[in-house]
Amino acid sequence: MRPQQTDTSPVLDNPTTLTANVTAAYELAANAARESEPLVSMKKDHQHKLPYSRAFFLGAELPFPLAFKEQRAVNIPTHDGNSFTRLPEEVANQLMIVYVDRILPHYPLFSRQEMLEMFQRFKESNNDQAEVKSEEQFTICMVMAIATLTSKARDYRKLVSVAESLRRDAFARLDWEQSLTVATTTTIQQLLLIAQYGFLFPASTNLWQVVGDAARVALGLGLHQNTTSECGMTEEILDYRKRLYWTLYSIERSIAITSHRPLAVAGDQIHLPFPSSEHDPDCNGSLVLHTSDESYDQPLTPNSKLGFNDTLKLLRLQSEICSVNIGMRPISNSNISYEDWLVDVERRVREIKAGVVSTSMSNSNEWHTMLILHMPCARNPNPAEASVLKYFRAAVCTVRGYWELIVSNDLDDPWHATHRCYEAGNLILYALWHYRSLIRRNYTIAQIFEVVHQISSIFILLAKQWPAAQQCGILFDRLRKGPLSFFRDDNSSDSSLGVEARQLKELVFRENADVLYAREEPVDTSAHPTLDAIFPDFGADSLSFENGADILEFFNLFDDSNIEGFDATAIDLEDTQLEECNGEITDMFSLQAEKDQVRHGNPGMSKLHKASQGLLLLG
């Protein structure tokens, strides 16, 4: 039920009530954290039931306030239990390489050796799946599905069809209800694999629900508390617990901060050191897997990106920012003012970034940090001009970065892109209403119209991967008319009290958003949605791997793009002109011919069309 709109803001007009509510919620979470048992996961009779498992399969959440309008059907993966997806062994090897080299370092749910040994057992069992535990079968199938969605195939519809088939196979191999009834650390791993898939294909997964339940299991197991070897656990197990919890933390915080939802546990209740990189000494090396005839070796050089511990540091910093700016919690250092705290946070951001070799991902996280640090918020509803310029620049660079990723076909995470571009767009429009003269002194009208036009185009293009993203575009296009007219016309009077300005204020300060603290229940649906229902504009074709096609070319697994998606100087040039995008959308995701020639020049590729050689049964 959509909340009633009021003439007063609970955020701005009644800070006492807000502070009391936030304090009560914090104390409740803190008590739960303190009462957790670090060793409870070692008890054989431990059971942690997850009663809302059906809600896991709702589509992902749209930003506020669109979450109130959307009716999301339950997308439970179903399988007849007979036929399973068949992939050539070469393709399976390459999908595993992609996951281990490019994804696992950022989500170390498993060690590199553990993952490869699991995959080898899966391959050796081939048609006799009974030799492999159901949990391992689930893991391998989900890993394959996740890696599939990171490829750059021309036909996204077919790519999703393959990934969804693998996801259905994964759930067919596992007694899901039993796994949730006796929730353990393995259950957390399974839930986080589902969340990773949801980032790439948001229509499949209720991200906040899935990760929230994983966080509750971890809290019950005491994973957020440090445990010493004196408790009887080996160093390997202790490090595994650290890796598991901090991986959960990185995913949970990323979802909560991006969508402005409550944190699962307050940062000062987490008493656990970061995991050591020593658990996986080969994590920076390239992986080589062999086919059954040992004739094909294709190492895949891992991308140099922000390290896992660097990401954790930034997320902890972002959590602190949200707690102070939105949650109205006191600054940890009571001896400094709010203005000094802003300066100190910026210093810590620079320190983290200075230690990172690659700047593409670090710039992305830096802009998001600067955005939430300086934007208008409950703690600082009227930021100083310096802060306005900083958050505005961060918003513009965020949009530019995602635009570059989309047009180069390098975006594989539509969920974060949708939420962050929507937030950046609303904050840009808010600045045009309330800080017109300041923005006019620092940006040209052409620059402003260009970036606003890019935001609208981004939502159109994102709809290819997440159709629901179009709803953000429709709302943004409706909201942008007033601010753009006001910004362009020097004779316009201050209309900050108008309807459009009020709507933007509600969006920026998330007024009446307290209903988001309640997790959603699945809506009634008479039938499970098919690929046709999720993508109504496309007809679902079955993908055959026995038609002589070059399967690895379809997946485009060897396309190693080094595009710097977040260029800090993209909007700083004063001579930037307003770009026209007409005619570009239809071919925005086409691959370059040079890349095709590179792939065809690989002598090992010619053997991959023989689908009869080494077919691997996945599922």
Q: What is the mean pLDDT of residues 232-250?
A: 91
As a whole number, mean pLDDT of residues 345-351 equals 94
Cis peptide before 65 (omega within 30 of 0): yes
- The full DSSP string for 21-41 is HHHHHHHHHHHHHHT--TTGG
Q: Cβ of 81: how many Cβ atoms within 10 Å?
A: 10
Q: Where are the domains of the chain?
A: 36-59+84-294+513-558+602-619, 308-510
Contact 349, 306 (CB under 8 A): no
Highest mean pLDDT among 82-86, 493-497, 522-526, 583-587: 82-86
Q: Is the pLDDT at 600 greater than 80, yes or no?
A: no
What mean pLDDT value characterizes the chain?
74
pLDDT computed for residue 515 by the predictor:
42
- Of the chain, the percentage scoring pLDDT greater than 90 comes to 41
Give buried/exposed letters for 439-469 (b at 16+ CB in 10 A, else e).
beeebbeebbbbbbbbbbbbbbbbbbbbbbb
At 194, list the tokens.
Answer: 């589902």
User: Is 390 a residue whose pLDDT tops 90?
Assistant: yes
Q: What is the pLDDT of residue 24?
A: 54
Question: Taking residues 414-429, what's their average pLDDT?
Answer: 96
pLDDT, tens only, 432-469: 999 999 999 999 999 999 999 999 999 999 999 999 99
Measured distance CA(355)–CA(340) in Å, rounded: 24
The CA-to-CA distance between both ends of the chain, in Å, stands at 39
Average pLDDT estimate for 559-575: 33
Which tokens belong to 237? 């197990």
DSSP characters over 428-497: HHHHHHH-HHHHHHHS-HHHHHHHHHHHHHHHHHHTTT-TTHHHHHHHHHHHHHHHHHHHH-TTPPP-TT
As a whole number of angstroms, the distance between CA 51 and CA 492 comes to 55
**Confidence (pLDDT) at 382:** 96
The pLDDT value given to residue 585: 26
**Alpha-carbon distance 286 to 92, whole Å?**
17
- To 10 degrees, the CA torsion angle through 188, 372, 430, 14? 90
Tell me whether residue 104 is exposed, middle or buried, using C-beta atoms within 10 angstroms of its C-beta: 0 to 12, 13 to 18, 19 or more: buried
Alpha helices (H) in 288-409, listed in sequence order = 308-325, 338-354, 360-374, 385-407
Rg (C-alpha) for the chain, rounded Å, is 24
- Is the predicted pLDDT of residue 536 greater than 90, yes or no? no
Partners of residue 300 on adjacent β-strands: 287
Over the stretch 161-170, which tens digit does the pLDDT of each residue have? 999 999 999 9
Lowest mean pLDDT among 22-26, 315-319, 534-538, 576-580: 576-580
The pLDDT of 352-375, averaged and rounded, is 82
Q: Which two tokens stand for residue 481?
A: 């008319």
Instruction: Look up residue 324 and give its two tokens.
Output: 């102070």
The pLDDT of residue 599 = 39
Q: Would you state the structure tokens that stand for residue 604, as one six-digit string?
A: 């090992």
536 CB-contact burial (10 Å; exposed 0-12 / middle 13-18 / buried 19+): exposed
Residue carrying the six token digits 């540091």: 313
pTM: 0.76
Q: How many other CB atoms are there within 10 angstroms of residue 547's CB atom?
A: 9
- 569 CA to centre of own chain: 25
pLDDT reported for residue 517: 40
Q: What is the model's pLDDT at position 327?
A: 85
Give the pLDDT band of residue 587 (cuts 50, 70, 90): very low
CB-neighbour burial class of residue 571 (10 A; exposed 0-12, middle 13-18, buried 19+): buried
- Enter the DSSP assignment of 100: I
pLDDT at residue 355 in the model: 74
Please report, to the nearest 10 degrees, the dihedral formed by the alpha carbons of residues 608, 609, 610, 615 taken in order. Answer: 70
Task: Name which of 46-60, 92-106, 111-125 the model is least confident about.
Answer: 46-60
When mean pLDDT is compared over 29-43, 196-210, 257-271, 581-595, the highest value belongs to: 196-210
**How would residue 54 be classed by pLDDT, with cut points 50, 70 and 90?**
low
577, HSE (Cβ side, Cα atoms, 13 Å): 3
**Residue of 344, 462, 321, 337 lying closest to 403 (CA atoms):** 462
* pLDDT above 80: residue 350: yes
Region 93-112: mean pLDDT is 95
List the single range of 366-375, 487-496, 516-525 with lowest mean pLDDT.
Answer: 516-525
- DSSP code of residue 102: I
**Looking at the predicted structure, is the pLDDT value of residue 348 above 90?**
yes
Tell me: pLDDT of 337 over 60: yes
Q: Which helix (H) or strand (E) holds 87?
A: strand 86-88
In angstroms, rounded to a whole number, what is the distance separating the alpha carbons of residues 91 and 437?
56
Q: What number is the average pLDDT over the span 252-270? A: 89
